[in-house]
Amino acid sequence: MKVFLSSDMEGTAGVVDWAQCVGDGPEAAAGRRLLLAEVNAAIEGALAGGASEIVVNDSHSTMRNLPPDALAGQASYISGSHRPLYMMQGLDSSFDAVLFVSYHGSIGAPAGLSHTYNPRAVMEARLDGVVTGEAGINALVAAHYGVPVVLVTGDRHACEETAALIPGVHAAVVKEPVSRLAAHSLHPVRACALIRETAQQAGAARRRRRRSAGRCWSSRSGPRTSPRRCD
């Protein structure tokens, strides 16, 4: 089973300020270590759930936040900016599942560091009248290729916004927003354990579904706007 992982950063447990996720200062370096641990937890869980190949798309800021040699499972790594498909670059119909790791709430949501792509350009995004953020829009790219999004990790708002468009998606909530610049986070060890467990469950469920129904999937596996697809 081939898995595509898109990693943002603002949804990481313990990250609550832009200094932790932008630039090259000590706080940003610490934030990237927290992110790496959560990405690796998702990779380890996916492998335990039946994945045989993982492709990681570094989707945050300059998109070079993860040390390639530290990625678990010998995952391949897409990094660097200026990509046609941006956070979903590298995805195609050869994949079996998509994971969203460390995602955040949409712009305007009462969630930590909430925004939608570029806050200077995007004030709000809706799909079928439902407010969504980067997860919902990126899920449309996955739907185009017929690949279901099976996991989202991040703050509660990110997970709830994703579930509103993808019923049944597995979610790992690693922090509760207090304000846009404050959150109550799980300890990083517990956050990673939750992500690992949830990713394993998501991968195993996807594998069972593929076995029972070939490679067909319905609109329940993608955004409500997506048609039935069969690879």
What span, in angstroms and rounded, lies between the C-alpha atoms of 48 and 17?
33
Verify whether residue 115 is a known catalytic residue: yes
C-alpha dihedral (134, 140, 143, 149), degrees to nearest 10: 20
What span, in angstroms and rounded, lies between the C-alpha atoms of 193 and 139?
25
- Please give the C-alpha separations between residue 28 and each of 32, 64, 204, in angstroms, as whole numbers: 6, 12, 34
**Of 60, 115, 157, 170, catalytic:** 115
What span, in angstroms and rounded, lies between the C-alpha atoms of 67 and 151?
23
| Beta strands 216-217; 229-230: pairing state | antiparallel
Q: Please answer whether residues 16 and 28 qualify as being in contact, where contact means their C-beta atoms are separated by less than 8 angstroms.
A: no
What span, in angstroms and rounded, lies between the C-alpha atoms of 83 and 135?
17
Catalytic residue ranges: 115
